[in-house]
Chain A
Amino acid sequence: MEITGPTGLSNHQCIHCNQPIAEEASFCNHCGSLQALPDYEDAEIRQNRVLLLSFFFGVHLVVCLLANFNHSVRGLFPLLIFDGILSIVTIVYTVLLRKELGHIFRWVQFSFLKIIIYGSSAVVAAVAVNLIVKWLNRTIFDTESYYYYAFSHLKYAKLVTVMVVALQPAFFEELAFRGVMQEGLKKVVDTKQAIFISAFLFSLLHMSIISFFWLMPFALWLGYVQSKEETIWYGVIIHFCFNTTACFLEFFELNLF
């Protein structure tokens, strides 16, 4: 609440006695009350939030484990089912936490320059990561994998690949991890730790230990951008540019242009 008193001491008020206090004050210098929620209320909120987010991550984990380790559910249809489940869960949680997540959908500091900078950085990062991953797959794992082959039998295979690999994850993964998870965790831990935990869980859910070396820095970058810009949209653009570049590099490698 804004205070326009004659002393001009501070624009902060004590939550108990409404007297002006310093911005950094942990206790009111007039009534001595703590400028935070009491322990029991704080603990209850944290406990509820931990349970809520554990269930959210648990659903994501079960679906990702099924998709990665159960070979009987391979193919486009199961993939769409899995993506559909995760998208629905994310939407339900977004509705549940709408009061806290409202601000990340706004785009107050819209800037074309930032879009170009973030987008081009994502393209450069995607090219670098793609080269390293290809090299690792060939030399260590003696294998090559292409997203395109999962959709190659379809009429608009390239378009479907971009939609399923780039567009859908760019929005829903950002909403799930930089939205629900990161913002939700801010009730439990501080912002730095919230960014780290959501980035770590995001990297874990990709079910590839070897991919951790690029997924973790990428997720930390996305978390930092969301926190700094206070919007989800720059993250969605970065994620989309990154994944789309990976798709186009595949098309280029498979001579599909």
Chain B
Amino acid sequence: MDLAPNPTDFKKYICKCCCDTINEQDQFCQHCGFPLQETDELQQRFINNRGYNKEQLKKLESKIEYAAIIFYILAGLLFLAGLLIFFFNTQNNLGVIFLVTNGILAILFFCLGAMSDKYPLASIICGLTLYLISIVTGLSSGIIINLLVLVALTTALINAFKAQSIRKQHNL
């Protein structure tokens, strides 16, 4: 009696492009799309193309890191400003209010910076919105600095979208 082949019965191989396991009868790697039955030339071209995309992704990721640096700097500056106001304002509880609100903002920016490596899009979208609101409500002043921060964060956001797209298209 003929039995239908069980998928676990197929011989397992390793894809020479991404090192994921592949079945003997596969024509393409289901993890990276590597053409398993094609000529050496086409296979090499695919590997080169994937390598190029990996490089592009690395470049974009290094640009996204600027967002994290900005968040850490903002966190540090906010905390420092809160501390200074707290120590120099001894007449009323304004110092405590500034210390607490700046402290919370500093913690928020610090957390956004810390998570930007794993969740860059969420981190930058939230950080950018928080910064925009702090400008609108007058918490952050200085046109040039605000503009620089906004441009840097927007650029990081665009790069994060590009990186996500490359990751998705090539399963990197």
For A42, list chain B residues within 8 Å (CB): 165, 168
Give the residue of A22, A28, A36 whose beta carbon is less than 8 angstroms from that of B28: A28
Interface class of chain B by DSSP: helix
For A61, list chain B residues within 8 Å (CB): 133, 136
Of the four ranges (under 10, 10 to 19, 20 to 34, 35 or more), the interface on chain A belongs to 35 or more
For A24, list chain B residues within 8 Å (CB): 30
Known: A36-B169, A204-B129. A69 touches B29 (CB 8 A): no
B125 at the interface (CB under 8 A from A): yes
Of the four ranges (under 10, 10 to 19, 20 to 34, 35 or more), the interface on chain B belongs to 35 or more
Known: A142-B93, A188-B121, A193-B122. A22 touches B30 (CB 8 A): yes
For A193, list chain B residues within 8 Å (CB): 119, 121-122
A6 nearest CB neighbor, chain B only: B4
Q: Which of B54-62, B64-72, B100-108 contacts A (4 or more CB under 8 A)?
A: B100-108
Complex contact B137–A189 (CB within 8 A):
no
For A207, list chain B residues within 8 Å (CB): 137
Distance to closest chain A CB from B122 (angstroms): 4
Known: A29-B27, A31-B28, A34-B33. A204 touches B122 (CB 8 A): no
Query: Which residues of B does A touch, CB under 8 Å?
Result: 4-5, 7, 22-23, 26-33, 35, 93, 96-97, 100-101, 104-105, 108, 119, 121-122, 125-126, 129-130, 133, 136-137, 161, 164-165, 168-169, 171
What are 26 A-B residue pairs whose CB atoms fall within 8 Å in the complex?
A6-B4, A24-B30, A25-B31, A26-B31, A26-B32, A27-B28, A27-B29, A27-B31, A27-B32, A29-B28, A32-B33, A34-B169, A38-B169, A43-B161, A69-B137, A140-B97, A188-B121, A189-B164, A197-B122, A197-B125, A200-B126, A201-B129, A204-B130, A204-B133, A209-B105, A213-B104
